């Protein structure tokens, strides 16, 4: 058991203003592994005040000083890498191999990208007699989720530090220990007091206070669309900048000239990875009507071969989903798919055979799905794939875009120019062609109800900068 009953404020670990605790549950066992303190408005006020004080000096640091700080963080991060990886697996259920290869690795990826950008970024440009100057936006409030916890923290914190901002982080209360480790890493690296602050807590107690706080200049939220709307409403009273990375229901358009085995197999694994708990997961697989049955058999074989087990189990490919609440929601939606007439190909309700405890979900594939069905409309956030047949390319594009979301999309074709043509017509913030891997330099964010603003790379970096015009900088 690990009890971490303090917040990190102004360079110190401090007690909550009003002591309350919350257990942290291992989703592989359903057993508590520790407790955290639940903060509140007073803790947020103290953290914001510290960040506001620190901003005056930190915003004036030089490029070289911030680069040295980021490199020191990288060094400390590498020392604690194995501990971070293990912690992520234990508290949110990612298999050990995934935590090590991807979950923890993303933190280093975002740090190194922030360093690369900062090394050469032009903060000032002269246009005629006017100087265009980019300055740090100020005090930032970060509210982050549990599904890729370190990724979502570091893709905000790293560019904010590089830009010269100070910040208050509310990590998820479901998987919070990785964020506490990050606070220790920042402290050891010499992040000045007040520049980074961490207040643990839930949405109503801490998230709402951050969103509405008059001394926070920007709030960056990653989570559900429903919660993102609440954040935006709370932030509107103080006209602060709001960036949001929200839900998704990503289409995977497989054209008839694609390598069907590779495209369907890769798409199925992409949907199931991280137990389906990725906002950009390719959960709607669109296949030509004539190839539907063949695609279904490929997906069935792939999903049926996935080993589900505890995060540290030998050979585990996907672990549990994160909580009882998530498990219940996924089970409800699987049953909804059956009730609405989709063809259950493999998986289905209940836990996989042999697993009687833990929030485990069967890798599930539905075929003959229509886009108006609930399983094609709602974000399930579990290992559930819907296969939708289409008649022609234009119908595939129409179905792909017929969603309130627009975070990501995927397209596969043996003709690269055709894939590019389809990609241009998909209403999503990020489109992957023929299985292209993630790119830390590419902007990440969505159209429509998938949010606003962008993270990752230079686009994410510039979210933390204000633009100032100084007229008359040069004499005429």
Q: Which residues contact 446 (CB under 8 A, 6 or more apart)?
A: 245, 246, 248, 405, 406, 407, 408, 428, 429, 452
E strands in 130-217: 130-136, 139-143, 166-170, 196-198
Question: Annotated catalytic, 165?
Answer: no
Q: What would the two tokens of residue 206 be? A: 């801490």
Residues 53 and 184 in one domain: yes
Q: How far, CA to CA in Å, does 438 sit from each of 207, 214, 344, 433?
A: 29, 36, 31, 11
| pLDDT (0 to 100) of residue 456 | 97
238 lies in the same domain as 255: no
Domain match, 280 and 422 both: yes
Asked whether the beta carbons of 436 and 430 are under 8 A apart, the reply is no
The pLDDT of residue 176 is: 98
- The answer to whether position 445 is within a domain reads no
159 and 29 in one domain?
yes
For residues 233 and 331, state if they share a domain. no
Nearest to 274 by CA among 245, 316, 239, 237: 316
d(CA 176, CA 65): 29
Backbone angles phi, psi at 166, to 5 degrees: -110, 170
Judgement on whether residues 240 and 278 belong to the same structural domain of the protein: no
Report helix, strand or coil for 9.
strand
- pTM for this predicted structure: 0.96
Query: What is the domain range of residue 187?
Result: 2-246+450-470
Q: What parts of the chain have a pLDDT lower than 70?
A: none
157 lies in the same domain as 265: no
Sign of CA dihedral 182, 183, 187, 190: positive
Q: Are residues 269 and 402 located together in one domain of the fold?
A: yes
Q: What is the domain-level CATH number for residue 462? A: 3.40.605.10
Spatial distance between the Cα atoms of 406 and 204, rounded to a whole number of angstroms: 27
Rounded CA-CA distance 416/412 in Å is 9
Same-domain pairing of 123 and 231: yes
Distances (CA, A) of 346 to 8, 281, 282, 298, 320: 46, 19, 18, 11, 18
| pLDDT for position 1 | 82
Rounded-to-integer distance, Cα 151 and Cα 102, Å:
9
Catalytic annotation, pick one of 245, 455, 462, 463: 245
Whether residues 242 and 259 share a domain: the answer is no
Structural domain total, the chain = 2
Which candidate in 76, 279, 455, 462 is catalytic? 279
314 catalytic residue (yes or no): no
């Amino acid at each position: 058991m690990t009890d971490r009953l303090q917040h990190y404020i102004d360079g110190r670990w401090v007690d909550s203003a009003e002591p309350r605790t919350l257990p942290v549950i291992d989703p592989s066992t359903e057993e508590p592994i520790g407790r955290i303190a639940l903060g509140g408005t007073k803790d947020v006020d103290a953290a914001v005040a510290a960040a506001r004080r620190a901003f005056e000096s930190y915003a004036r640091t030089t490029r070289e000083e911030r680069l040295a700080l980021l490199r020191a963080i990288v060094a400390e991060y590498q020392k604690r890498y194995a501990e971070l990886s293990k912690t992520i697996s234990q508290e949110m259920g990612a298999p050990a191999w995934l935590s090590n290869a991807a979950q923890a690795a993303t933190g280093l990826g975002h740090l190194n990208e922030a360093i690369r950008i900062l090394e050469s970024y032009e903060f000032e440009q002269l246009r005629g007699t006017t100087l265009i100057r980019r300055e740090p936006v100020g005090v930032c409030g970060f509210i982050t989720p549990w599904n890729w916890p370190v990724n979502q923290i570091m893709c905000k914190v790293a560019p904010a530090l590089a830009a010269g901002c100070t910040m208050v982080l509310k990590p998820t209360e479901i998987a919070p220990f990785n964020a506490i480790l990050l606070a220790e890493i920042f402290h050891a690296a010499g992040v000045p007091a007040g520049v980074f602050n961490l207040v643990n807590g839930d949405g109503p107690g801490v998230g709402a206070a951050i969103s509405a706080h008059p001394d926070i200049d920007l709030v960056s939220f990653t989570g559900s669309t429903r919660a993102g709307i609440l954040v935006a409403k709370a932030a509107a009273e103080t006209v602060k900048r709001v960036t949001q990375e929200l839900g998704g229901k990503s289409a995977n358009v497989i054209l008839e000239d694609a390598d069907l085995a590779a495209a369907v197999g890769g798409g199925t694994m992409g949907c199931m990875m991280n137990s389906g708990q990725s906002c950009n997961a390719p959960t709607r697989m669109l296949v030509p009507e004539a190839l539907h049955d063949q695609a279904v058999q490929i997906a069935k074989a792939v999903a049926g071969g996935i080993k589900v087990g505890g995060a540290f189990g030998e050979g585990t490919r996907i672990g549990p989903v994160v909580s009882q609440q998530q498990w219940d929601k996924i089970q409800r939606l699987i049953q909804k798919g059956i009730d609405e007439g989709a063809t259950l190909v493999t998986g289905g309700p209940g836990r996989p055979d042999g697993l009687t405890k833990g929030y485990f979900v069967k890798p599930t594939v539905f075929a003959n799905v229509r886009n108006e069905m609930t399983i094609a409309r709602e974000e399930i956030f579990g290992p559930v794939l819907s296969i939708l047949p289409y008649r022609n390319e234009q119908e595939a594009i129409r179905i792909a875009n017929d969603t309130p979301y627009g975070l990501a999309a995927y397209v596969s074709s043996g003709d690269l120019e055709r894939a590019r043509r389809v990609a241009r017509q998909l209403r999503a913030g990020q489109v992957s062609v023929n299985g292209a891997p993630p790119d830390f330099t590419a902007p990440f964010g969505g159209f429509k109800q998938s949010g606003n603003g962008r993270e990752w790379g230079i686009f994410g970096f510039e979210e933390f900068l204000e633009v100032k015009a100084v007229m008359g900088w040069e004499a005429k």
